[in-house]
Structure 1
Amino acid sequence: MPATLLVDAVGSCIAIDLSALSPEDADAVREAWADAPAPDGAQPVQTITPLIADRVDMLSALSQQVTLAAIEAARGRAWMLHAAGVATPDGQVVVLVGPSGRGKTTASRALGAVYGYVSDETIAIDADGRVWPYRKPLSVIEDPAAPKTQLAPSAVGLKPLPDADLRVAAIVLLDRDPEHPEEPEVEVADLGDALEDLVSQTSFLHHQTAGLRFIAGLAEATGGIRSVRYREAATLPALIPALAQEAGPIVVPEPGVKARGDSDVSGVQEGPEGPNLPRFSRAAAEDEVALTDPDRIAVLTIVHEQGHVTVLGGIAPAVWRAADHATLAELVAAAVDAYGEPDGVDAGPAVLMAVGQLMDAGLLTSDEPRLARREDVAWVDSGERIVALALSPEEDQTLAQPAALTGSAALIWEWLEEPVALTQLIARTLEVAGTDAAAEVPAQVEAFVTDLTASRLIETL
């Protein structure tokens, strides 16, 4: 037998080098991967060498090795979901998404006994809706006292793939509830609510062109992201015919805001603030998409290679759209223009708090300097007040006097643990004090910052 086994994993050919294995272990690998043969003529993109270990551990680790290699090979080529999937005889694929504990694996096996089994690990969806299967071995508990066994899907009674091109028909968020009635409940989920679950189960979304907007376009093409609440997986196969309807074309929506430098805020009057006060701009984001009913914007950012979605609601979308080197007055005008002047209430404080929240979330930047505690400061927090002291003497060797901080002053000191802008401090204080104090808060915070700076407790970065 050949010393290399070629397997198909989400559209990539992965070679498994069997040459260092015993004949018995090599046969065990072939048996476990029997349902994932690479197409004739496929060229491997990577070669995997199984770990030298006992057979059970080797097979388990090999499954992870191939999965990681396949996901890496598909980076940027397709939307890769940590998801399960089944296919109808005409190739319509229902994709099942859910974090660990939501019943995805159990559901995929109950469905795979009736419909074509696509995967219980990773589903890859191309820009045109084509689905790439991954029929890797399944981890099966045969003996509760022993490690899981790696078995080919067909070995546990799961159906083969249909003789048809695989196309995405539905994206389903699974929600298993032991207390739910026997009859499953299907509803179209709000895309803004669904995006966080979908992004958290996605690999390398930031390497995909317009990844967030692709999800929105796919949701539109498939009739919306579905949510299924159910009690027992055995009740799910009856749902598939209604879910597995042929999708329409996937149209990726345009960005919801104009490109940096093109936003039209120049005609808005600056008001009494003057030309030298802070200007605010959108921070760099991987992607964003406009949501309707109500008006919102979903923003994708990447932190430590992990995607994070923030859905902006209320007046935040208007602020986000207008934030292109804009003053606070311009952002207030943009919010009023979009949503109207609130009855009997000044829109300024609400916009200021929205700006602060967007800055706290890393979605908005300002040209203000940052304020932070000095490194040569010691302080004690008694719970009722904070006493802080600059340890380094003045140039004339005069020692500083301790400062006692209570109430909002103590809060501001806590907020200065990380560098922040004055706008953020004012906005946070306003949230605590309430909008009734909007007239006094800015001056009070500025005065407190001036005092802390004079006492050499904080510095400008």
Structure 2
Amino acid sequence: MHPAFTVTALGARVRVVIEQGALSAAEYDELLGLWEWCGSRAGDDPSAVDATIRRTIRKAGVAPQLSRGDAPWRASASFSALADRLSADVTGAAIEAVRGGLLMLHAAALADPATGRVLAFVGPSGMGKTTVSQRLGRRLAYLSDETTGITDDLAVEPYPKPLSLRLLADGRPKRQVTPASLGLMPAAERSHRLHRVVVLDRRDDAPRHPRIEPLSVTQALAAVTSEVSHLRSLDRPLQRLAAVCAAGGGAVRVSYRDADDLAGVLDEILSRDVTAPSWRAVDTSVVTDAPQIGGRAVRRLPSDDAVADGAGLAVFREGIVHVIAGIGPSLWVAARRASTIDELAATVVSEFGAPEGAPAEAVVGAAVEELVAGGLLEWVKS
């Protein structure tokens, strides 16, 4: 019998199976302890889990033994490498298990222990999410240092995984440490709700005092869509993400040098109760009747979702979020049915007035070519 344990990650139950004899009893207990805050429980009940991970230590010249029908063992060279790889494996398995349900941000999540308000600190790898969790997680409850799962009604699913600390930038496995060993605050048994998305912008040339920049919904979409897992799997994907970006008065970008500096602006981010930025869903239907215009026209391509605000328009097409501004939104909306450049130019002039320095048709023609190249519009002929 191979030793196994289960953990709860993003609301999913993930089963971890370790090849018999791959770890010592002490190493197995250490691995189990790393996942204590995720409800790690020794035992093997494959019928009650959402995903299974099989791990072993690679022994020179010895192939892992498999039973018929088993998935292959994923081998690591050492215990530290196994623990490091397991963190990514559990996260990946949980994301797959809940895709289409939770909106999942590549973000650290910390909660006000008094109110349950959650700040989601979004950023790519290396932007400081784990460091932010370490520095602020003694004052705020630690929910995750990597992946934040958000429901349709903005509830946050805790995932207090071990923290992954890179000690040396030489390719060695990251060290896995328990939240308790870092003195982080555990989350209380209560509901947690997203209060605000915080886009991390860590730069050496940032001001000494962190700068907070409010973002419109479409600006926030442009900043965070690359940090969303399986956005295409969601129903109304951009509308779900727009609601997240508008939560608590809207997303903010924080430019800072060091995570310690963020403590000074934490109260401002948490307590700021302003009116949520407005946004609206936009009709994505396309009139596909053959154009009766006797010449060349342009029409928008089918898309999955679209939202707009005063700053621009975001369109979700074939898994890509396109954020456009200026006259682009008006052109895309008008191109629901095939329209000539002259017709689109008349629309732009009626909304924005005549452009200076160039004919409206030339300005619109150049903008249309950009939208065609971007995969949002297509040329059609009658």
Establish whether TM, by shorter chain, passes 0.5.
yes
Question: 1:315 Cα shift?
Answer: 1.8
Equivalent runs, 1:3-402 vs 2, <5 Å: 3-18=3-18, 20=20, 21-22=22-23, 23-37=25-39, 43-52=48-57, 53=76, 54-89=78-113, 90-141=115-166, 147-245=173-271, 254-257=280-283, 259-261=285-287, 275-292=293-310, 294=311, 296-302=312-318, 307-323=319-335, 324-342=337-355, 345-368=358-381
Equivalent runs, 1:410-429 vs 2, <5 Å: none
Question: 1:249 Cα shift?
Answer: 11
Q: Give the aligned CA root-mean-square deviation in angstroms.
A: 3.2
* Residues 252, 71 of structure 1: alpha-carbon distance in 2 compared, 3 angstrom cutoff: farther
What whole-Å deviation, never above 9, does each CA across 1:78-125 have from its counterpart, x for those lacking one? 110111111111311111011233222211210112211111110011
Question: Are the aligned partners of 1:87 and 1:116 in contact in 2 as well (CA < 8 Å)?
Answer: yes
Structure 1: segments with no counterpart, 5+ residues: 267-273, 370-461
What whole-Å deviation, never above 9, does each CA across 1:327-371 have from its counterpart, x for those lacking one? 3332223222322334685311111111111111111012259xx
What amino acid sits opposite 2:260 in the alignment?
A
TM-score (norm 2): 0.82
What amino acid sits opposite 1:130 in the alignment?
A
* Residues 78, 183 of structure 1: alpha-carbon distance in 2 compared, 3 angstrom cutoff: same
What whole-Å deviation, never above 9, does each CA across 1:123-176 have from its counterpart, x for those lacking one? 011110110122222223568886432222112221111232111011001112
Aligned length: 353
Determine the C-alpha separation between the residues in 2 that align with 1:77 and 1:99: 22
* Residues 51, 368 of structure 1: alpha-carbon distance in 2 compared, 3 angstrom cutoff: farther
Structure 2: segments with no counterpart, 5+ residues: 58-75
Determine the C-alpha separation between the residues in 2 that align with 1:140 and 1:357: 43
Question: Are the aligned partners of 1:287 and 1:299 in contact in 2 as well (CA < 8 Å)?
Answer: yes
Determine the C-alpha separation between the residues in 1 that align with 2:95 and 2:4: 20
Question: Are the aligned partners of 1:283 and 1:364 in contact in 2 as well (CA < 8 Å)?
Answer: yes
Q: Which has the higher contact order (CA 8 A, sep 6+)?
A: 2
TM-score (norm 1): 0.69
* Residues 38, 368 of structure 1: alpha-carbon distance in 2 compared, 3 angstrom cutoff: farther
SS in 2 for 1:49: strand
Determine the C-alpha separation between the residues in 2 that align with 1:285 and 1:13: 34
What whole-Å deviation, never above 9, does each CA across 1:240-287 have from its counterpart, x for those lacking one? 333235989999965324522399xx9xxxxxxx83212322112232
Determine the C-alpha separation between the residues in 1 that align with 2:303 and 2:284: 13
SS in 2 for 1:81: strand
